[in-house]
Amino acid sequence: MSPPFIGLTGVIALFVLLFARVPVWASLALVGFFGNVALSGWPAAFAIAGTTPFDVGSSYTLSVIPLFVLMGEVASETRLSSDLFAAARVILSGVRGGLAVATIAASACFGAVCGSSVATAATMTRIALPEMRKAGYDDGLATGSLAAGGSLGILIPPSIILVIYASIAEQSVPKLFAASLFPGLLLTALYILVATAVVRLWPDHAPGLIKTSVAEKFAALAGPWQFLLLFVVTIGGIYAGVFSPTEAAAIGAFGAILIGVLGRRIGWTELMKAVEGSVITSCLLFVIIIGANLFSFFMVQTHLPAMLADAARTANLPDLVVMALIIVAYVVMGCFLEGIGMVLITVPVFLPIVTGYGYDPMWFAIIVVIVVEVGLIHPPVGMNLFVIQAQAPETKITSIYRGILPFLIAPLILVVLLFVFPQLALWFPKILYG
């Protein structure tokens, strides 16, 4: 059997195992291990399987994961989200649909610190949905803005998914964090535009208008100072070259705990819950990364990605068609696969093809994260939609589906913009790091 054929068999076996409910990490690890056995024999496969877990589990670069997860878990316990929403609703008062816009803005800010789309969607639903309902907002608009806003956390830095992409694609974490900032802000602006357009087209979807004075708006700006402090210190520190990502994550986690304890927002029980959550979430990610590294090594040995790239070139497929096919593949896989698993499974296969066509791996990282975001919100299976319904069971899932549809335009526009102007992602890392 030729290596590419073994590679193809491995990919098919991987999907069979995944759909048979075998955990993502075990599917990747087993296919990677037995694939390496088929290609290089037992001793070589055991050597790789023996060193990979330790290499991953002692990687300084990956220490950023548990520390940022801890920061997010603590931030979730400290009611930071309610401060953000309270400030945003006052600042945006007087704007028609202001509560929906405030929800998106607060979700983007909270998601940046929290890093988890699901946690952001769940937390913001509890805070913002009752307010929007009280103001007479349409359920579709309310839940659509919650789902869309909740998905922003994985694009706006610090993003765990980008750290994982960096480890698998051998990219710089600070550069990826720089590349994702402006697309993240742009996507926030696009979601806000969609919410505003929906309100303009159907004014009855957002009937209420809250009035506040200019002085109140300025006062509200000072409300979420803790968030600003955390974000500026951690991400600003990385951009300015003051801290490495691990240092920024440690300071962010420590800062979040300090803010919580000194402000009496978090007790011992909540702190322990946050730590336990961080341990479990982070270690689940680590075992997947271990499995993905084994699978990735196997894929490289098979030359399957290079063969696919050659096949695409031989067939004279234009780069745009190849990229469109890859994006469609991501959207389809987003129906079944969880985001991080999807990145770990696909990047070793797709990245050589993408770079073979001359695209920048940093730019591709941003595209991948945006498409993963779409997977979180597109009906009928987007995870954020179910999270919102779980928080508000009285809401019909069909209302949520109807509400999210207009918001799906925003990431598609962003993907098109990134194809036309790749510098949207690439200029900031270039300015910061040359």
Which residues contact another protein by CB under 8 A? Answer: 17-26, 29-30, 33, 46-47, 49-51, 53-54, 56-60, 62-63, 66-67, 70, 243, 246-247, 250-251, 253-254, 272-273, 275-284, 286-288, 290-291, 336-338, 340-341
| Closest distance of CB 236 from another protein, Å | 14
Contact predicate 373/117, CB 8 Å:
yes
| Closest distance of CB 285 from another protein, Å | 9
What separation in angstroms does the CA of 285 have from each of 162, 239, 341, 388? 13, 25, 9, 24
| Closest distance of CB 82 from another protein, Å | 23
| Closest distance of CB 292 from another protein, Å | 12
Nearer Cβ to another protein (323/377) = 377
Nearer Cβ to another protein (361/382) = 382
Nearer Cβ to another protein (252/406) = 252
Q: How far, in Å, CA of 123 to CA of 113, rounded?
A: 13
Helix (DSSP H) and strand (DSSP E) numbers for the chain: 23, 0
In 202-316, where does DSSP find H-type helix?
214-221, 225-231, 237-239, 245-262, 268-302, 304-314
* Tokens 């030729």, residue located: 2
Residues 6+ apart with CB under 8 A from 154: 111, 115, 116, 117, 160, 161, 339, 369, 372, 373, 376
| Closest distance of CB 113 from another protein, Å | 16
Q: How far apart are the first and last CA of the chain?
A: 45
Nearer Cβ to another protein (14/374) = 14
| Closest distance of CB 340 from another protein, Å | 8
* Tokens 């490289």, residue located: 300
Contact predicate 268/3, CB 8 Å:
no
Largest Cα–Cα distance in the chain? Answer: 74
Nearer Cβ to another protein (225/336) = 336
| Closest distance of CB 336 from another protein, Å | 6
HEC states along 89-137? HHHCCCCCCHHHHHHHHHHHHHHHHHCCHHHHHHHHHHHHHHHHHHCCC
Nearer Cβ to another protein (297/428) = 297
Nearer Cβ to another protein (15/182) = 15
